[in-house]
């Protein structure tokens, strides 16, 4: 039996932002301190228990008070992709650990976005290539034919 949510705009869920930092930057992240972030791709994971859509819209808005750690980072970085999962559970820590286990994952700012949990960080750095969340991306650069990717 389906349960209809009476307030759809209050959808709870977990999200991951795939972010691109076009050039290296030293960014002060509130009380966490200042870090030198190399250019490249990052994944940030968070959860919104009181409105996933509103939270994501806020992340995409350039003009806002800086409240979350990610607000500081988003002043320099571009959102390339958004992955979401709707549901009541707080999966953000699982996702953060899964992202940290991917090849090339690195921690630049310990405790970023992880003030309320025990994770090493919720912002994971992946270097020059976008993380895919799957095996195989290492072989892709320069070996596109081998993977069956045809150029049109
Ligand atoms: Zn966590």
Give the pLDDT confidence of 133-147 residue by residue, as tens digits. Answer: 544 444 444 333 333
**Considering only CA atoms, which of 7, 3, 12 is closest in space to residue 86?**
12
- 0.95 cut: is pTM over it? no
Q: Is the dihedral of CA 29, 109, 12, 52 positive or negative?
A: positive
The answer to whether the beta carbons of residues 139 and 147 sit under 8 Å apart is yes
- State in Å: Cα 17 to ligand 1 middle: 15
* Structure-model confidence comparison of residues 73 and 144, the more confident one: 73
Handedness of CA 75, 76, 81, 83 (dihedral sign): negative
CA of 123 to the centre of ligand 1 (A): 10
Question: What's the rounded Cα separation, in Å, for the pair 134 and 132?
Answer: 5
Ion ligand 1 neighbours, Cβ < 5 Å: 93, 114, 117, 119
What is the mean predicted confidence (pLDDT) over 90-102? 93
């Amino acid at each position: 039996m389906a349960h209809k949510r009476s307030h759809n705009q209050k959808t709870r869920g977990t999200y991951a932002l795939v972010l691109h930092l076009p050039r290296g930057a030293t960014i002060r992240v509130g009380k966490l301190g200042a870090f030198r972030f190399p250019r490249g791709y990052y994944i940030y994971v968070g959860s919104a228990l009181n409105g996933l859509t509103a939270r994501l819209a806020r992340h995409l808005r350039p003009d806002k008070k800086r409240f979350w750690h990610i607000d500081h980072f988003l002043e320099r970085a571009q959102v390339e992709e958004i992955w979401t999962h709707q549901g009541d559970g707080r999966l953000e820590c699982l996702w953060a650990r899964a992202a940290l286990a991917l090849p090339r994952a690195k921690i630049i700012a310990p405790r970023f976005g992880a003030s309320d949990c025990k994770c090493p960080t919720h912002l994971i750095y992946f270097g020059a290539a976008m993380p895919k969340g799957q095996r195989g991306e290492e072989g892709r650069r320069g070996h596109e034919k081998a993977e069956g990717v045809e150029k049109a």
